[in-house]
A = this chain, B = another copy of it.
Amino acid sequence: MQGKGERKIVSSKDVARLAGCSQSTVSRVLNRPESVHPDKRERVLQAIEALQYKPNMAARSLVAKQTYTIALISGTLRNDFFAESTDRIVEYARKQGYRTIVYFESEGSLGDILAQVRSYKVDGILISCMKLEDPHYEAFATCGIPCIWFNRRHKRGGNYISMDNITAASMLTRHLLDLGHRSIAYLSGHRDISTLDERWTGFEAAMQDAGVPIAEDQVHFLDPEDSAIQKLTWKLMQRLTPPTALVCGHDELAIVCMDALLSMGLRIPEDVSVAGFDDIRMSGHQAIQLTSVGQHRFDMGEVAAEQLIALMHAEAGKEQSVIQFRCKPELFVRKSTGPVRTEQEKARNGRI
Contact = CB atoms under 8 A, between A and B. Distances in A.
A83 B100 CA distance: 17
A90 B107 contact: yes
Interface string A199-232: 0000000000000000000000000000000000
Contacts of A115: 54
Given A144-B6, A282-B282, A58 B119 contact: yes
A142 B3 contact: yes
B99 A116 contact: yes
A118 B54 contact: yes
Contacts of A119: 9, 54-59
B77 A106 contact: no
A51 interface: no
Number of copies: 2
Interface in A262-284: 262-263, 282
Given A77-B87, A287-B288, 16 more contacts: A5-B142, A5-B143, A54-B115, A54-B116, A54-B119, A56-B62, A56-B119, A58-B58, A58-B59, A58-B62, A59-B62, A62-B62, A83-B83, A259-B285, A262-B286, A282-B282
26 contacts: A4-B142, A5-B142, A5-B143, A6-B144, A9-B118, A9-B119, A56-B62, A57-B119, A58-B59, A58-B62, A58-B121, A59-B62, A62-B62, A77-B87, A78-B87, A87-B104, A91-B106, A94-B106, A94-B107, A255-B285, A258-B285, A259-B285, A259-B286, A259-B287, A262-B287, A287-B287
Interface of A: 2-6, 9, 54-59, 61-62, 76-78, 80, 83-84, 86-87, 90-91, 94, 99-102, 104, 106-108, 115-116, 118-121, 142-144, 255, 258-259, 262-263, 282, 285-288
